[in-house]
Structure 1
């Protein structure tokens, strides 16, 4: 296993086993209106 392969494996393990949740990206009012959600 090369160093590059090992680093990829470590990064993948960290991503798969992360305990903290990442926040979803925000949506603009225009995007919400396209989905039928209005009034915010």
Structure 2
């Protein structure tokens, strides 16, 4: 039971870190796009 519980935690951490980094890049791109639209 403990080994099964430890494995998901490690995978969850890796999957949680990757999406966050991608989300930050996407938000920064969207923000730049919105800024350009607002400037026009």
Please say whether Structure 1 and Structure 2 have the same fold, judged by a TM-score greater than 0.5: no
Q: Which structure shows the bigger proportion of residues in helix conformation?
A: 2
Structure 2 length as normaliser, TM-score? 0.41
Which structure ranks higher in relative contact order (CA pairs < 8 Å, sequence separation ≥ 6)? 1
Structure with bigger gyration radius: 1
Structure 1 length as normaliser, TM-score? 0.41
